[in-house]
Amino acid sequence: MDVEFLGGAREVGRSAVLVDGSLLLDYGLLTADPPQYPIRDPEPDAVVVSHGHLDHVGAVPALLKGDRRPAVHWTPPTADLARVLARDTLKLHGNSPLCPFSEEHVARLGEVEVRHGYGESFPVAGGVDGGGSDAGGTGYEVTLFNAGHVPGSAHVLVDDGDTRLLYTGDFHTDDQRLVSGTRARPDADVVICESTYADVTHEERAAVETRWADRVRTTIWEGGTVVAPAFAIGRTQELMLVADANDLTPYVDGMGKEVTRLVRRHPEFLRDPEALRRAKGAARFVTGRDGQRERIAADNALVITTSGMLAGGPVHSYLPEIRTNPTNAVTLTGYQVEGTPGRELQEHGRLELNGRVRPVSARVDSFDFSAHADREGLESFLDDYRDSRVLVNHGDRCVAFAEDLRADRFKASAPELGERIEL
Ligand SMILES: [Zn+2]
């Protein structure tokens, strides 16, 4: 078995790992303008997708160009989320020649997809000779396990009868309200491990929740409005659950509304479907018609809305309304990538609105509602793989983390972008 890193190596975004030139694990987009794709255009026999985030699934429809029809394997929530993301990509970039796929390619997903639950092993054609089942490739047995990141997120175990490769995808070792943390530790000879938060120790989730709920309550009590920018997939639902558990009634706006309806169709992938039903029943979904957003902004309320890093979305209707009054608050609820408007607000208290940089007098606080394992989580996960070879990916400091692991007697390295490794 060999693996080639086409994206997500020593970086976060556009994840793609090609096994034996035949089986592709994830095929993501890096959010930028224009968006970036994995470094080359592979022609796999099959694809397995770890979860429904843009940086893991965003470019999958592009694999269905011409008469190419690789099978696409994923969980039911990932299948639904992939379509929501593809439609959003077409909305943003569909008219650009840089958009690598069209509506037609998205529609073809229905012809090639196969949905799988956790723990159900399935055969995938392909192999060393790359030509599918009729060309000598012996194929693989693949199994998905709950990765505890977002609904439907999976660790991917690939077994070719000789080598067992575990691709972790994004994962969390702790329970979140929306999904339970990862528990499965299948035997593997090689582990490709994400390392997004290899440098971070998360604050205890219960403490983060209390701090956030207190900030919301205090702001509303003082007569202000709270804008909580949140990613549509995972974070919006997590915040709805935290709000409901603290008797806070949020407005919910943006793509997170559709995602909430969608994940509720897959209760077996939720930690507590009944809690999400209650939270959804209590929340008020915003249509945005007839100046509704302006009214909400003036209404002494909590609004959870996209986008999480303020790069677009309805959050831009609320911020101009609440910006000048220090009684109002913005609660950032996820990591703000360098160069995003969210990072600019976090570090410098200002924001570009309609092409002009404006100071923000509203209070700005940050809360770490991460859906990734932190340093301690990564180490506790990998502790079960002390005899395996560990390849660190999906992080800004992969090399340093691999070095630390080697110092701790792991067989670890951090492959470069484009590197092909014989296992
Ligand atoms: Zn993710």
Residue 133: what pLDDT? 44
Three-point CA angle 265, 212, 368, nearest 5°: 75
325 C-alpha to center of ligand 1: Å?
34
The number of angstroms, rounded, from the C-alpha of 154 to the middle of its chain's C-alpha atoms is 11
Residue 400: what pLDDT? 98
Enumerate domains of the chain plus CATH numbers: 2-199+371-422 (3.60.15.10), 205-366 (3.40.50.10890)
What's the pLDDT tens digit per position in 304-325? 999 999 999 999 999 999 999 9
Please tell me whether residue 180 adopts helix, strand or coil conformation.
Answer: coil
156 C-alpha to center of ligand 1: Å?
14
d(CA 179, CA 170): 13
- Residues near 79 by Cβ (< 8 Å), separated by ≥ 6? 109, 113, 115
154 C-alpha to center of ligand 1: Å?
10
Residue 407: what pLDDT? 98
54 C-alpha to center of ligand 1: Å?
8
393 C-alpha to center of ligand 1: Å?
13
Residue 135: what pLDDT? 45
What's the pLDDT tens digit per position in 213-239? 999 999 999 999 999 999 999 999 999
The runs of H, that is alpha helices, within 52-204 are 54-57, 76-93, 103-112
55 C-alpha to center of ligand 1: Å?
7
53 C-alpha to center of ligand 1: Å?
5
d(CA 126, CA 148): 29
Residue 132: what pLDDT? 44
Residue 353: what pLDDT? 85
51 C-alpha to center of ligand 1: Å?
7
Residue 398 tokens read as 């992969």
168 C-alpha to center of ligand 1: Å?
11
Q: What is the pTM of this model?
A: 0.95
- Low-confidence stretches of the chain (pLDDT beneath 50): 130-136
149 C-alpha to center of ligand 1: Å?
7
